[in-house]
């Protein structure tokens, strides 16, 4: 069992250890995670600290508590598109695959909408940086995405305010400029009718259905680095999930 380090809150160290087991596949969907009592004994911490680590995992959507039974790993829905983008950027320094290109349609300061402020952990109406881009290939638009960053990140990463591509990828640039490393992400998906602006940017008929993904990237301290909303044309993308049946 790893030793507690003083540089990070104890409950977060425990939560991150279990989170990494889940993301590696050591703990699979449906597996029971250690109880508060077991965590307290294994890590030599108090029961409230152990309980807080499980609550952090629950808030991240990684585990669920079952009344009278225990805490279990949830079935994870993975946005493979986002995961592949980050992996490619880290390995090659490029965010797009050959044949793809992104156009930044706007960048600058704005007041945070309520759902953006909530996702970034900010006061409603606080100032944020907003970047909007359309990714295309030879067949047309692939994705319309809008990203928001807290004001402290905007001040330390000035390229976010320029309507130009960031060659190494936005997240890689933010990490380099802030010293904060992306640790994990959460996605929430829904389908709805495209707004007029989305339909125009994605070259869809007005009122067409789009798949919308809300994507939040967190650093190792569980602080939000980026919140993005991506709209996908229905004929261009499918999202896959693999999971064991036993």
Q: Would you write out the chain's pLDDT as a tens digit for each of its 246 residues?
A: 555 555 678 898 999 899 888 877 788 888 999 999 999 999 999 999 999 999 888 876 688 888 888 999 986 544 445 555 555 555 555 566 677 888 999 999 999 999 999 999 998 889 999 999 998 888 889 889 999 999 999 999 999 999 998 887 888 899 999 999 988 888 888 888 999 999 999 998 888 888 898 999 999 888 999 999 999 887 666 665 555 554
Contact 62, 19 (CB under 8 A): yes
pLDDT on residue 37: 94
pLDDT on residue 102: 85
How many other CB atoms are there within 10 angstroms of residue 4's CB atom? 14
Which of 67, 5, 14, 60 lies closest to 36, judged by CA? 14
Spell out the CATH class of 10-73. Answer: mainly alpha
In the Cβ-directed half-sphere of 106, how many Cα atoms lie within 13 Å? 12
pLDDT on residue 227: 95
pLDDT in tens, 35-79: 999 999 999 999 999 999 998 888 766 888 888 889 999 865 444
Q: In what order do the strands lie in the sheet with 209-219?
A: 101-111, 127-137, 140-150, 224-232, 209-219, 182-193
User: What is the DSSP track for 188-214?
Assistant: EEEEEEPPHHHHHHTT--TT-EEEEEE
Domain map (residue ranges) of the chain: 10-73, 80-232
Domain spanning 80-232: CATH 3.90.1570.10 = no
pLDDT on residue 234: 72
């Amino acid at each position: 069992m790893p030793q507690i380090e003083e540089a990070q809150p104890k409950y977060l160290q425990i939560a991150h250890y279990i989170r990494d087991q889940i993301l590696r596949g050591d703990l699979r969907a449906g597996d029971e995670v250690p109880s508060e009592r077991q965590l307290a004994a294994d890590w030599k911490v108090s029961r409230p600290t152990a309980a807080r680590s499980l609550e952090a995992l629950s808030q991240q959507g990684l585990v669920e508590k079952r009344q009278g039974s225990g805490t279990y790993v949830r079935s994870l829905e993975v946005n493979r598109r986002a995961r592949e983008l980050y992996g490619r950027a880290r390995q090659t320094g490029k965010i797009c695959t050959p044949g793809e290109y992104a156009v930044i349609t706007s960048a600058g300061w704005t007041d945070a909408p309520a759902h953006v402020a909530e996702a970034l952990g900010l006061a409603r109406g606080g100032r944020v940086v907003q970047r909007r881009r359309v990714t295309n290939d030879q067949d047309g638009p692939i994705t319309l995405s809008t990203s928001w960053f807290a004001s402290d990140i905007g001040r330390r990463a000035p390229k976010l305010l320029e309507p130009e591509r960031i060659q190494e990828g936005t997240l890689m640039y933010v990490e380099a400029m802030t010293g904060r490393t992306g640790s994990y992400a959460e996605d929430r998906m829904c389908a709805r009718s495209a707004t007029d602006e989305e339909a125009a940017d994605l070259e869809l008929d007005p009122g067409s259905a789009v798949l919308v993904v809300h994507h939040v990237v967190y650093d190792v301290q569980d602080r939000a680095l980026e919140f993005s909303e991506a709209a996908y044309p229905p004929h261009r993308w499918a999202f896959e999930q693999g999971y064991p049946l036993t």
